[in-house]
A and B are shown apart, each in its own frame.
Chain A
Amino acid sequence: MSRRLRLHSLALALALFVAGPAVLEAQQSATVTGIVRSSAQQPVRAALVAIPSLNLTAIANESGMYRIEVPDARGQQVSMQVSSIGYRTEEVNVTVTPGTVRQDVQLQEQAIALDALVVTGTAGSQRVRAQSAQIAQVSAEQISEVAPVSSVSEILQSRVPSVSVTSASGTSGGGQVIRIRGAGSISLSNDPLVFIDGVRADDRQESPGVGGQAVSRLSDLNPDDIERIEVVKGPAASTLYGADASAGVIQIFTKRGAVGSRFTQSITTEFNLIDQNWTPPSNFATCSAGAVGNPNGLCAGRAVGDVVEDNPLVRDNAFRDGELYSLSWSGRGGGENYGYYLSLNNDQESGTLPNNSFQRRTGRFNFDFVPHEKVRIEAGYGFTRTNTELPDNDNNIYGFLGGGLLGDPLSVGSDVRNGFFGSNRDVEAITNIRNEVKSLRSTPTVSIRHDPTDWFTHRLRIGADMTRSEVLRFFPKNDNVWYGGLLNTGSVDETRRNFDRFTLDYLGNISSSFGADASITSDLSFGAQVIDSRLDRVGAEGTGLVTNAARVVSAASANISGNQGFSETRQIGILGQWELGFQDKLFLQLGARIDQNSSFGEEAPSFFVPKVGVSYVISDEAFWQESLGFINTMRFRTVYGTTGRSPTAGASLETFSPAPYAITTSAAGAGVIPLNPGNNELDAERGTEFEFGFDAGLLEDRISLEFTYFNQVTKDLLLRRPLPPSLGFDENPFVNIGEVKNSGIEILARARVVTRPNVAWEVEASGSTLSNELVSLGDIEPFGVRNRFTEGKPLGGFHTLRFQNIDVANGRAIVSDTLEFVGNVYPGYEGRLASTVTLFQNLRIYAQIDGKWDYYVYNLTDRFRETQLPRSDRWHKRAELEPEDRIRRFGPFFREDGSQTTGNQAEEAYIQPGDFLRFREVSATFSLPVEFAERFGASRASFTVAGRNLGFISKDYEGADPEVIGNLTSNDFNRWDFLTIPNPRRFVARMNFQF
């Protein structure tokens, strides 16, 4: 290229750069902008602003401000729609003239958002008013604005009736249990399915074997990336998401940018102080003659029979204040035919125990592209890197609580235990045990929506959730005999787990209308879903390390072994749903799904899950408004459908388990033992569910009320028929037998008590009941011991030999001859009360209390400390107890038939009501004046101080925390508290800037 030509090119580029805006200006563009506010004059962030006729959308930023660029402004009038969860959709006319058009919008809170859109498995969104089943919507954005939440489970905790979230321990990074409408299955998972942007997600728990705690994959998600969560309960779940969805579905929708919206960004920084707020109980011991004679021990100078006290965890400063430092950035915007959302987040949390931490780094890129007015492509990619260090605890002799709460005070100054349970195993020794779960998770998804005509829409979605985990359990080599045996030479146990889940999902919609004024509408949805899940695991372990730095299994000198596992499940489903609407008031939904699952082997039977439902917005009738106008919104809904669940892969096969036999001390042969007799007639668990309810808005939507009654009956339970062990099988086979019933009511009420410009007060109350009954076990005898399955009782209900009489005169407890029911594992009642007060438009104060009632916890910590390794003052000062209390705890126990039994069978004193009321959250968020925020170059800034888990009241539970579950990694029906660290309280400070 000649020099002249290069100069010409440069000049041309320069001219285009300078003249570009002028050229655009010549195209007569307009910028429509404004602020979306609530009736309380609060900015409504994330409101969707759309000009449908121009196919333009924008999302309001944190200040409620939106901005839409209209490329061809000719003074035409267009209709602009503004919508947001919890508000009535507003439609305003805007005259688009070149330049800037200011249009502020005020949204009215809507108690019952009948026109809000929900994603229900159809190709497009559908309005709430047409849904016959209740689909709860939770606005993660709005919750995280006021509440101190740092995980998905905390967003959901107590906020949706019948969605029971239990934080299993106070361990940072530890898992939770989520149940929707209780548990309907005995042998299969009762975990709800999780979908992220329509793709079936990894919802496992992973444990490094530290006791009862595990890492929940739900904790991988950055709550700041979540726009909203929809919880699908009842028959809607199975029909739309497949048989495995019987336990409900949690759909998570991440934030997205909007086409034509301006770029906005948000920076949030947060600090949490985590206070254990619990003093472990002291250990007690009674001085013996030998102990009195030890000049260095606690009994020195005391009399035989004196009781001495020690608290090794306090003495050794086991607990610390935990901290969380969090920094999040997100930005979103869009161009003429695209929108995007980008985020980065870094959380660094240290727990209250010295080797407990949780690090989470996340990133997300969502990109929406509209290459053609009839085609929309939505792509997303999320990644998460987590590193969780879990401390040993629970049923674990290497745990902090096991080491501290089971220590013998007589060993202080006497032997190497020095008040701890294990020899030489003090806080330093326990701290040096490392348990890590490092995970890298990727969630790519692509969705293509095509609207070839105005009546036909279809969508194809492909997505994956891929998790790579490294799990380490490491005991360092030491010269202090910390752990005993070969563990002192160093021990390393490494596992690699690859979990992949792929989703392919096609859905189509055909809509049409009939009759005069198109008063009859028809919406036919159909589709297919293919999901493939595979878990590939390989691990190795060994002992005897040269140095702790060289902590790979190949460096171990002894006991080296490997293990491997693989499982895969595939499922295919096709679904159809027909919705018929009459005058936009009455809707009939018919749905059905056919599923096949690889669990049933090559001859996989298909099973059919239909549903039928009706939704009737009766308040739209003229007669209603005339006679019951104060109830401005009233919708009745009812749905009846079937549900189902599939067993794990290969469940129908008769199998052996590889089991080697020793030929010599060094040579082994490949042997087998019977594993499972199989059942070639196995079918899916089938159930029916009926749901009825209403949604009401009263007094111009100042009060809303949602009520639902549900009744779920699961028949043909996939139950492991307990075989007599003498038949020689290692596993019990699945059979379809028996019946379980779950029923209950769900109530959610909201009231806007005060709605003045400078004062707004909203109150929200919710509650649910759960009645769970094992109706029939077929020909199977009751099974289980403490958590027993008996007809007429709830699943896994606590049983023991119950007290019939405390015979104080004869110093004995009379207990029943046989196991009797004590109480529920799952709460019968849950409730929540939350209040939000907004003052002067910039100070928002939020508080929530919630509770669970009518359930029991097995307080094994106390039982162990009182009767197995007596460290409790109740044992050592038992003479001071009331006689009845003493006998209840320590016996002796006699059955009514006169035979003596033991505390192992008569445990009623330690199966304790867990009822509690917890002061869960309180926060104050102050939005800085705009002029102050602008000094930082921000459009908005807010500052939040908050507290979480500040305290609880429990009348009857004697342990540290009735909410913990010390065996999360075990099955559903075994709720115990055994040396489990209670939930700590958190104090939160958070700053948010929007630009």
Chain B
Amino acid sequence: MRNGIRWMTGVAMAAVLLVGTTACDDFLVVENPTVVNAAAVDPAADAGTFALSAQQNFATAYGWLIMYGSWYTGEAEVSETFPTRNEYGRRDVDETNGSNNGDLWVPLTLASSSAEGVLRILAGSDGENSNVNVARAALFAGYSALFMSQDFCEGTIAPSPTEPGPRMSQAQLRDHAVQRFSRAIEVASASASSAAPAIRDAALVGRARTYLQAGQRGQAQADAQQVPDGFVFTMTYQDDAANRTRLANRIWQFTQDRGSVSVAPAYRVDDPRVPWSEPDGQFTSQDASVEFYRQLKYTEYGDPIRLASKKEADYIAAEAQGTQAMLALIQAERAANDQPAYDGPTDDQSVLVEFLEQRGREFFLEGQRMGDLQRHGNIVPHVPQPGAPYFKDGFAPIGSGTCYPVPIQEKSNNPNFG
């Protein structure tokens, strides 16, 4: 009897505990203000937010692409110690390179996927064909694809957030870029937004650049010639100490904060298009064994970076037209920048090399050089030549790469890379 009472007491206590705890469901609801619950965001109503976020995603990726491209193509020296970054200086980037994934592929694919996402959200919506958010998203979807095609050896664009994209060649990526630029031009042309004309013209330059990259010179020239005089489209940055990685001009950030980007010897020239300064002891390289020649093209965290311009359109048009047009532009640019007139050989190859020299200076640290390398290979002036010794002791010689591999993180997890 006594034991029976004990058992009953035990069962009763356990039941009380069980009931008590299950009645405490509210206790398990906690606030977590550091993240945004996706359920709290309305994709359609907040499309403008998503479109401008996608634009910033591209701006962030753009800075990274410029910096790594500057090392790869010899605009700058890797004046820091990261082994993964020195692979860029040596044109020998492995698919396991962590910087290749974290600093380049992830930001670029975020730019691409977020822009493509806006297009999906607004597909079929009222006023889609004149919605400036559609135009903006299409513009940056286009530029993301373009940069993927010129910097990476291959790529992919996800059709949805749950569906990995197909393996795409550089040509397929360029086709996708043309499609997106065309959409941007179409929608921006129909939009009444004050932002629309700039989007349209930037898309025209982007499409021209893509056509040039693809060797479709006629189309490149046609688009380039539609760009109005004086047009400049820049990516906007800010001096926000709390958001340096997202909002700052990456080149200045890595000049000022890390001392990572030292102007390469070939660019230490007296040319207003390539401003730089001698080592002064005040600003030093992160790799202190490398003398720090500071670039002065960007001198603030908030300095904008040019993405598209009439000037670029002129270069595209000249290159598309051939030697004489290039020669004419060479002379014009030299004169405009206090350089003596070109008096070298005027054969096609020589003019092209000089044209690329002028192009390199004009678009110094603007992420154009990887495209030049893709189109013209090792004749591009100042690109580190395969087999040459690396400028730092202890490293293997320069490799023969012309583009970055898709990172192993993508290849391993995207079944389409099999």
Contact = CB atoms under 8 A, between A and B. Distances in A.
Given A568-B31, A572-B24, A661-B52, A902 B17 contact: no
Interface string B47-68: 0011011011101000000000
A416 interface: yes
A599 to B, nearest CB: 9
B410 A666 contact: no
Interface string B97-112: 1100100011001101
Contacts of A559: 241
B394 A658 contact: no
Contacts of B81: 397, 406, 864, 868-869
Nearest to B409: A725
Contacts of A864: 81
A484 B10 contact: no
B245 to A, nearest CB: 10
B275 interface: no
B128 interface: no
B283 A526 contact: no
Interface in A611-657: 649-650, 653-657
Interface residues of B, number: 98
A423 B290 CA distance: 11
Contacts of A485: 256-257, 259, 283
A500 interface: no
A662 interface: yes
Contacts of B10: 508, 510, 524, 526
B267 to A, nearest CB: 22
Given A570-B27, A726-B156, A671 B56 contact: yes
A398 to B, nearest CB: 11
Contacts, number: 286
A668 B238 contact: yes
A597 B28 contact: yes
Interface string A546-587: 000000000000111111111111111110100000000000
Contacts of A729: 161
B413 A456 contact: no
Interface string B241-254: 11100110000000
Given A528-B20, A662-B238, A723-B413, A869 B394 contact: yes
A14 to B, nearest CB: 55
Most buried by A among B55, B165, B288: B288
A868 B257 CA distance: 21
B396 A649 contact: no
B170 to A, nearest CB: 16
Interface string A684-727: 00000000000000000000000000000000000000111111
Most chain B CB inside 10 Å of its own CB: which residue of A408, A411, A527, A725: A725
Between A420, A649, A782, the greatest number of chain B beta carbons within 10 A of the residue's beta carbon is seen for: A649
B117 interface: yes
A664 interface: yes
A280 to B, nearest CB: 18
A486 interface: yes
B162 interface: yes
B281 to A, nearest CB: 6
Given A726-B156, A785-B408, A678 B304 contact: no
Given A662-B59, A723-B413, A868-B83, A670 B49 contact: yes
B82 to A, nearest CB: 9
B117 A408 contact: no
B98 A785 contact: yes
B6 A455 contact: yes
A530 B22 CA distance: 12
B45 interface: no
User: Quick one: which of B28, B81, B86, B101 has the most chain A CB within 10 A?
Assistant: B28
Given A484-B283, A570-B27, A662-B247, A727 B162 contact: yes
B32 A728 contact: no
A417 interface: yes
B3 A512 contact: yes
Given A508-B13, A728-B117, A671 B394 contact: no
B393 A662 contact: no
- Chain A contact surface mostly: mixed
Given A725-B409, A726-B165, A656 B41 contact: yes
A76 interface: no
Nearest to B164: A724
Contact of A659 (B25, B112, B246, B282): B246
Given A481-B281, A675-B35, A514 B21 contact: no
Contacts of B240: 561, 660, 668
B161 A727 contact: yes
B237 A665 contact: yes
Interface in A511-528: 512, 514, 522, 524, 526-528
A894 to B, nearest CB: 11
B97 A904 contact: yes
B29 interface: yes
B17 A892 contact: no
Contact of B38 (A528, A563, A660, A678): A678
Contacts of A722: 409, 412-413
B36 A658 contact: yes
B25 A512 contact: no
B14 interface: yes
A905 B32 contact: no
Given A560-B241, A727-B161, A904-B83, A659 B56 contact: yes
B30 interface: yes
Contacts of A369: none
Contact of A596 (B21, B37, B41, B302): B21
A657 B35 contact: yes
Nearest to A539: B242
Given A510-B6, A657-B35, A870-B394, A562 B242 contact: yes
Contacts of A655: 35-38
A209 to B, nearest CB: 14
A72 B90 CA distance: 91
A341 interface: no
Nearest to A783: B412
A654 B38 contact: yes
B153 interface: no
B41 A672 contact: yes
A423 B21 contact: no
A574 B17 contact: yes
Nearest to B300: A665
Interface in A871-924: 875, 890-892, 900-905
A541 B241 contact: yes
Contact of A904 (B17, B94, B101, B259): B94
A656 B18 CA distance: 36
Given A422-B288, A526-B13, A904-B94, A671 B396 contact: no
Contact of B394 (A650, A661, A866): A866
Contact of A902 (B50, B55, B87, B281): B87
Contacts of B18: 574, 594
Query: Which 4 A-B pairs give the minimum distances between C-beta atoms?
Result: A728-B113, A671-B53, A561-B242, A661-B56
Interface of B: 2-3, 6-7, 9-10, 13-14, 17-18, 20-21, 24-25, 27-39, 41, 49-50, 52-53, 55-57, 59, 81, 83-84, 86-87, 90, 92, 94, 96-98, 101, 105-106, 109-110, 112-114, 117, 156-158, 161-162, 164-165, 236-243, 246-247, 256-257, 259, 281-284, 286-289, 302, 304, 393-396, 399, 407-410, 412-414
7 contacts: A455-B6, A528-B21, A653-B35, A654-B38, A657-B36, A665-B237, A783-B409
Interface of A: 397, 406, 408, 411, 416-417, 420-424, 455-456, 481, 484-486, 488, 506, 508, 510, 512, 514, 522, 524, 526-528, 530, 541-542, 558-574, 576, 594, 596-598, 602, 604, 649-650, 653-666, 668-678, 722-730, 780-783, 785, 819, 864, 866-870, 875, 890-892, 900-905
Given A654-B37, A781-B412, 4 more contacts: A564-B34, A602-B28, A668-B247, A870-B393
